[in-house]
Chains A and B, each alone.
Chain A
Amino acid sequence: GQQLNQSPQSMFIQEGEDVSMNCTSSSIFNTWLWYKQDPGEGPVLLIALYKAGELTSNGRLTAQFGITRKDSFLNISASIPSDVGIYFCAGHNLSGAGSYQLTFGKGTKLSVIP
């Protein structure tokens, strides 16, 4: 099946620092999604990207859909303690056959030191 490589696996940063994480795939995706998961909770959608090259912001979060459609990054600016959690990228390949499933990366665990 399709695989997403997400990096880094974990990050420890100081409050106020900027954060960057990315995902790459060996195959093309039509949609890239970024989710955040808090302990014991379900993933919460942060940003959805639908077009190659698209750059979208949601508050302090910015994500881009790579031109090749095989990668995406998520930036968090001026991190705060509540940014702590696990961030997942997910890709959707809406092929001609109409695949319905999301493929998730393994997650980036973010820790923010006050």
Chain B
Amino acid sequence: EPEVTQTPSHQVTQMGQEVILRCVPISNHLYFYWYRQILGQKVEFLVSFYNNEISEKSEIFDDQFSVERPDGSNFTLKIRSTKLEDSAMYFCASSAGLQYGYTFGSGTRLTVV
């Protein structure tokens, strides 16, 4: 069964450093997303990406965040200057269309120290 692949599975970084989280969505999907989940809390929407541009973003997705699809397969989330409160699981997801359920990756656990 097709999968969404995320790397790394765990990233530890110092406060103020830049991190890039990587995702390979399912190949024929058109919509791409990043969600995050702070430990013990619900999954929260960050951003959606379609047709090579951001289609929607939440309040969480401020100027420190950016997304990119540098080639035909990868989809990245960059946090420019990490803060302690950015520590969370970050999930990439993709879908074939808005009306379909999303497929999530296994996540990247980001720990900011």
Instruction: Give complex CA distance A100, B51 in Å.
Output: 13
Q: A41-B107, A101-B56 are in contact. Are A31 and B42 (CB under 8 A)?
A: no
Give which listed residue, B6, B45, B101, contacts A101 with CB less than 8 A.
Answer: B45
Whether B45 pairs with A103 at a CB distance below 8 angstroms is: yes
Give which listed residue, B58, B100, B105, contacts A42 with CB less than 8 A.
Answer: B105
Instruction: Give complex CA distance A110, B15 in Å.
Output: 35
Whether A92 pairs with B98 at a CB distance below 8 angstroms is: yes
Q: A100-B33, A100-B48 are in contact. Are A44 and B55 (CB under 8 A)?
A: no
What is the total number of residues of chain A having a CB less than 8 Å from a CB of chain B?
27
Give which listed residue, A42, A50, A104, contacts B106 with CB less than 8 A.
Answer: A42
Q: How many A-B residue pairs have CB under 8 A?
A: 65
Whether A106 pairs with B104 at a CB distance below 8 angstroms is: no
B44-59 contacts to A (CB < 8 Å): 44-45, 48, 50, 55-56, 58
Query: A80 at the A/B interface (Cβ < 8 Å)?
Result: no
Give which listed residue, A102, A103, A105, contacts B102 with CB less than 8 A.
Answer: A102
Select the residue from B4, B33, B98 with max chain A CB neighbours within 10 A: B98
Interface residues of A (CB under 8 A from B): 1, 30-31, 33, 35, 40-45, 48, 50, 88, 90, 92, 94, 98-107
The 12 listed contacts between A and B (C-beta, < 8 Å) are A1-B58, A31-B99, A31-B101, A33-B102, A42-B93, A44-B104, A45-B103, A45-B104, A48-B100, A100-B33, A100-B50, A101-B33
Known contacts A42-B4, A100-B50, A102-B35; 20 additional CB pairs below 8 A are: A30-B99, A31-B101, A33-B101, A33-B102, A42-B91, A42-B93, A43-B91, A44-B104, A45-B103, A48-B100, A50-B99, A98-B55, A100-B31, A101-B33, A101-B45, A101-B58, A102-B33, A103-B45, A104-B42, A106-B42
Among all A-B residue pairs, the 7 with the closest Cβ atoms: A100-B48, A42-B104, A101-B45, A48-B101, A104-B43, A45-B101, A106-B42
Interface residues of B (CB under 8 A from A): 4, 6, 31, 33, 35, 41-45, 48, 50, 55-56, 58, 91, 93, 98-107, 109
